[in-house]
Amino acid sequence: ILICCQQGALLLLYLPLSLSPHLLWSSSIVGFGVDPALRISVFDELTLGEGFDGVTQVQGFHGESRAFHFQGTSREVKAPAEVSKRTVQKLKGKNEFTVLATLKQDHLNSGVILSIHHSEHRFLELESSGQRSEVRLHYRTRSHQDHTEVFPYSLADDQWHKVSIAVSASHVILHVDCNRIYERVVEAPYMDIPEDTSFWLGQRNAAHGFFKGVMQDVEILVMPQGYISQCPDLNRTCPTCNDFHGLVQKIMELQDILAKTSSKLSRAEEKMNGLDGCYCERTCSVKGVVYREDEGWTDGCRNCTCTNGTVQCDAVSCPPPQCPAGTAPAYVKGACCKECLCEWSTLNLNIFPLLRNHGHSITQNTHIRTKTHASHPNKVLLCYFQDRSMHRVVQSEPCPELNCPESEQVALNSRCCKVCRGHDFCSEGHGCVEHSDCVNLEAGDCCVCKDGFRPLRDDNAYCEDIDECAEGKHYCRENTMCVNTPGSFMCICHTGYIRIDDYSCTEHDECLSGLHNCDENALCFNMVGGHSCSCKPGYTGNGTVCKAMCDGLCQNGGTCVSPNNCACQQGFTGERCETDIDECVDGFVECDSKSTCVNLPGWYHCECRDGYHDNGLFSANGESCVDINECKTGRNTCANDTVCFNLEGGYDCRCPHGHNCTGDCIHDNKVKHSGQIWVLDSDRCSVCSCQAGQVMCRRMVCDCDNPNADLFCCPECDPRLSSQCLHQNGLLTFGSGDTWVENCQQCQCLQGQVDCWPLPCPPVDCEFTVVPEGECCPRCVTDPCQADTIRNDITKTCTDEHNISRFSGSSWIKHGTECTLCQCKVGYWQQPQHHNRK
């Protein structure tokens, strides 16, 4: 698509087919009408006809609408809060708008036509200076810097003018009386306007910037080329630069979508490749054995199941046994439920070999019982229960010899032979299994659950953990929390408490121990369960972070390092860093002889003297100043009968040998005779004279003793109190003619009116510039990431981490993160530090 842009450039773009044509051409202007939703009629919004002091309705430039005369300095034409809020809502976030006005400004008046500002920040202000013949547009940039665009033009001539200033992204056009006066590319405005912003008409605030004269048809149109409604003959023929910026932005958004989609697709492919040979299943690991989902097993006398990676166990349920005559239910080693056994006492001897020798088929599950034979006392009857029938056998081997006195020998019903008193039955083998201990008794052994466990069956062979915390069987006292452990419990101290013993805790004084998070400039107060922090007198903050307070705040980028103690930026001094150090006067700087030192707030520069210009290197000490050849460049005033002769820092008009030269001068294409004195047409305060072919101009010498002194050129000679001015802070008073610097502006009081204009800065010829805090003029830097201003060239691109081409100046959130902002800056991309996105 070939685009004709109003800056005279032809732009060739390949656009995605998804881009709609309405991105290129707006339909806000139909014929010469304007969509009412895009129009802000300032007079109607402020209901100006309902009476404001210092404002009266008069005859206007035409009779189709009302006109108002603004006079005096005791007026306050400020929009009500709801009107300001409504206006801000229409302008917020917009980068295309037009300010229109028809006005007749008093001669030499400097005043504000309209102002939308919050505190000291002017988001949109149109000002006309009659004293300096300038039209100024004040706004905020995307980098949150105050910017003033100055257009040399005089509106304060007591004549009617139609004025419009149209903004379309970085494109600004000034029309006066339907003539295009200026067209510029500037840093784009950023209309992120707070809701509690003030909206003033005919003044900046209640004390400054009073417009004097008549205004009519003051409007704000939220659209580009709104001047067409004021001058219909200037119908648009080309899309605006904002249209082009919209196209570029849309392409950047599509690039971002492509990069994100590519990233997601790449991650999805990686996951799919990894899943090809992977079966994901949650398993359970118990005693070194891994069980799969829903797999069950028996753990002692509990039935367990693996459910979603968690082991769940329940006690084995035993049905009541149905035992035949001569048998009774009893526990058997290795079994959880009772089984039917002989009603004799259990024989704890290893007699399986004996039974096998007698031809009996014996297994480990065979249950054996004994009884002394009635007719053979030295023999023992054995019986065993197997295959649902009882079998008997006779043992004939003798008992082992005991190594204890007969008085210590004990006969047991469960054994064939006697044992010594205190015999260790548990060492012969026992059936105490899970969380159960074997205990020796007088005539045998038994199982006892370990501390903190309860039996799963009545012989205590199997036991389970008791949850003392859930059942309230613990001894944890106040300020603690019970935590169950296998066989026991623990008492954990609450946050802010320390342990006294195993069961109780007491309050911990973090302030005394130093284990707190209070700032070093805060006081720590111990509290129940914790502590609180409070900043010391002279500091402010939440206690964990405290910053020093300084009365009146530290100015010019100074930092408050302790109560009422400011650390000043380089170039400033004073208790509040309010005083600029004049490096030129104080001897800190030595400029080259071809230059002169010019002091700036916080800085200085060496400016080339008359007759010299910089060679483009812009050296700090003025060494780059070189002589101007006025003869070759035509910057001389020699008449035709003389010859221009270049000199170092100037020139000379010499008469050729044998000629009779007049010594006249050429000034503004007019002949001025030698010795003639005149006042400049463009500056009534400058007097020029022709001397030997050269024009010499100087400011008029003021003689305040002369009652006829021109007070405009000699404001210092004006003794009237009404000619004094109030400083922006409302605390200082200046006399007429006084000058001062305020917020990077040069201000002057002239006959009671304050006029301020941007402080002139030396030129910088570099790609990357930064304005240090507290200073007003940009300096060159080599690192683009430190720069405030970059000459972005959309013909240059850089490649991001996914090999997607990005335009210079574009920014995007790094894929896979939320807090990393990346920017393309002249051919390479930079990943800055992480920032918390809120």
The residue that leads in pLDDT, 818 or 301, is 301
Q: How confident is the model at residue 128 (pLDDT cuts 50, 70, 90)?
A: very high
Q: Which of 359-363, 431-435, 619-623 has the lowest mean pLDDT?
A: 359-363
| 92-118 per-position pLDDT tens digit | 888 889 999 999 999 889 999 999 998
| 588-605 per-position pLDDT tens digit | 788 999 999 988 877 788
Query: Mean pLDDT over residues 125-141, rounded?
Result: 92
Predicted pLDDT at 834: 42
Residue 381: pLDDT above 60? no
Average confidence score pLDDT of the chain: 80
Report CA Rg, the chain. 50
Cβ contact 102:217 at 8 Å:
yes
- The reported pTM is 0.50
Q: How far apart are CA 738 and CA 251, in angstroms?
A: 53
The residue that leads in pLDDT, 302 or 279, is 302
Q: CA 745, 747, 751 angle in degrees (round to 5)? A: 160
| Of the candidates 432, 470, 441, 436, the residue with the CA atom closest to the CA atom of residue 451 | 436
Instruction: Count other C-beta atoms under 10 Å from residue 515's C-beta.
Output: 11
Whose tokens are 């609408």? That residue is 65
Q: Which tokens go with 348? A: 């704890």
Q: How far apart are CA 802 and CA 834, in angstroms?
A: 19
Residue 305: pLDDT above 50? yes
| Segment 389-393 long-range contacts (CB within 8 Å, at least 24 positions apart) | 390/326, 390/327, 390/342, 391/360, 393/354, 393/355, 393/358, 393/360
CB contact set of 105 (below 8 Å; sequence gap of 6+): 111, 128, 130, 155, 156, 157, 158, 161, 211, 212, 213
Q: How confident is the model at residue 514 (pLDDT cuts 50, 70, 90)?
A: confident
Q: For residue 249, which phi and psi values (nearest 5 degrees)?
A: -65, -40
Predicted pLDDT at 803: 75
Whose tokens are 């070189």? That residue is 626
Distances (CA, A) of 363 to 368, 371, 384: 11, 21, 11
Amino acid at 46: L
Buried/exposed 534-557: b ≥16 CB within 10 Å, e otherwise: bbeeebebebeebebbbeeebbbb
Q: Which of 43-52, 189-198, 423-432, 805-814 has the lowest mean pLDDT?
A: 805-814
Q: Which tokens go with 444? A: 């045998």
Residue 352: pLDDT above 60? no
Predicted pLDDT at 235: 66
Residue 437: pLDDT above 90? yes
CB contact set of 229 (below 8 Å; sequence gap of 6+): 29, 32, 33, 34, 100, 221
Predicted pLDDT at 534: 93
Q: How confident is the model at residue 390 (pLDDT cuts 50, 70, 90)?
A: very low
| 704-754 per-position pLDDT tens digit | 888 888 887 888 888 888 788 887 777 778 888 888 888 788 888 887 888
| 402-425 per-position pLDDT tens digit | 889 988 888 887 777 888 988 898
Q: Which of 237-246, 307-316, 501-510, 670-679 has the lowest mean pLDDT?
A: 237-246
In terms of phi and psi (left: phi > 0; alpha: psi -120 to 50; beta: otherwise), the region of 814 is beta
DSSP class per residue in 260-290: HHHHHHHHHHHHHHHHTT------EEETTEE
Whose tokens are 């797999």? That residue is 295
Predicted pLDDT at 769: 81
Q: Which residues pair with 115 in a beta bridge?
A: 125, 200
Query: Mean pLDDT over residues 192-218, rounded?
Result: 91
Q: How far apart are CA 821 and CA 830, in angstroms?
A: 9
Query: Mean pLDDT over residues 564-580, rounded?
Result: 86
Residue 564: pLDDT above 90? no
| 520-533 per-position pLDDT tens digit | 999 999 887 788 99
Residue 131: pLDDT above 80? yes
Pairing of strands 670-672, 677-679: unpaired
Predicted pLDDT at 98: 93
| Of the candidates 130, 213, 96, 51, the residue with the CA atom closest to the CA atom of residue 757 | 130
Residue 372: pLDDT above 70? no
Q: Which of 172-186, 409-423, 641-655 has the lowest mean pLDDT?
A: 409-423
| Of the candidates 243, 238, 229, 239, the residue with the CA atom closest to the CA atom of residue 99 | 229
Predicted pLDDT at 27: 41
Predicted pLDDT at 67: 92
| 531-557 per-position pLDDT tens digit | 899 999 889 899 999 988 887 678 877
Query: Mean pLDDT over residues 784-798, rounded?
Result: 66
Q: For residue 34, which phi and psi values (nearest 5 degrees)?
A: -130, 135
Whose tokens are 């229960």? That residue is 385
Q: How confident is the model at residue 482 (pLDDT cuts 50, 70, 90)?
A: very high
| 207-264 per-position pLDDT tens digit | 889 999 999 999 999 987 888 888 887 765 566 666 666 677 778 778 778 888 888 8
Sign of the dihedral through C-alpha 342, 348, 349, 352: positive
Predicted pLDDT at 349: 41
